[in-house]
Structure 1
């Protein structure tokens, strides 16, 4: 499984974090090659039965569980910008500490763990077109500079629209 970390503002409001675990069409240098995530790369994986197993964790540590799609404590939406997420934090020490770290700016990025199912190479640039998603991670050391995480305040319009669309498709 490959992991990619992204930097940007993670937002927190109370006990919910939201942001982008991946951003589309924004190249990142991974040392030796660059990588670009294309729109639709997560679509198949999120629609599969295995999507219920996707977890939100802290610093790629499976012992630091924050939420899971199947439990309804993690929500993932692919929109025009990327892979948006919301995670309701548990009432654990980590769940209480993490929003503080996010609000201070100590933890400001995201990552994701995946296996590439579709990719295209253009010279030294890999374009991810289809991935099996296993996890998103809240992290202080992202590989992609454009990811975000924030403590829930006002829900971003793009997340609202994505949620309405997904509910209408059910």
Structure 2
């Protein structure tokens, strides 16, 4: 994900999740596994125009949302790379914007209900693939379960710094499809 600073406010843009990329080893109900998201897993949710929100660290109770699909301050799209978003930050979130600019906040996450998945065992490790998700919110985090989701700051007119190679490929893929 990139933070793009525009003349009329602050905008975060990038990928909240990337398809076909492994998570860190996760644990759920005592079961350890690596998870991936299948292409199109967010499609049903996005077609239904849900009122998805954006938060800092999944914190739905302590702070107001950073953005919301219903208000037009959060836009979500699914492409061949993953779940792309554009978030217009409120003015009270300047501390979050500064932490992203400094590199203190560098990850993304999301809260979901799993509607359809599949499991397999390889080399003694469990793997789960998520095929259909009900998305509740996306979140800026220090470290997410998916290390490929990222955040960087750039000005509206300058090219991105791109220190994360996964970020480089995701952005390049997006720009090639866009043009």
Asked if 1:103 is matched to 2:105, the reply is no
Contact 1:12 1:149 in 2 (8 A): no
Inter-CA distance 97–159: structure 2 relative to 1 (3 Å threshold): farther
Normalised by the length of structure 1, the TM-score is 0.80
Matched pairs, number: 151
Residue 141 of structure 1 and its aligned partner are, at CA, apart by 2.2
1:135 counterpart residue number: 137
Residue 13 of structure 1 and its aligned partner are, at CA, apart by 1.8
Residue 16 of structure 1 and its aligned partner are, at CA, apart by 0.5
* Offset from partner CA, 1:101-157 (integer Å, 9 cap, x none): 111000011000000001011121110000000000011121110002234636967
Larger radius of gyration: 2
Asked if 1:112 is matched to 2:107, the reply is no
Asked if 1:30 is matched to 2:26, the reply is yes
Contact 1:10 1:19 in 2 (8 A): yes
Stretches of structure 2 that go unaligned for 5 or more consecutive residues are: 160-170
2:14 counterpart residue number: 19
Secondary structure of 2:66's match? Answer: strand
CA distance in 2, matches of 1:18, 1:90: 14
CA distance in 1, matches of 2:146, 2:40: 18
Moved beyond 4 Å, runs of 4+: 154-157, 159-162
Stretches of structure 1 that go unaligned for 5 or more consecutive residues are: 1-8, 165-170
Q: How does 1:1-170 map to 2 (within 5 A)?
A: 10-14=2-6, 15-28=10-23, 29-31=25-27, 32-49=32-49, 51=50, 53-62=51-60, 63-64=62-63, 65-92=65-92, 95-123=93-121, 124-151=126-153, 153=156, 158=174
| Larger RCO, structure (CA 8 Å, separation 6 or more) | 1
Secondary structure of 2:148's match? Answer: coil
Contact 2:77 2:85 in 1 (8 A): yes
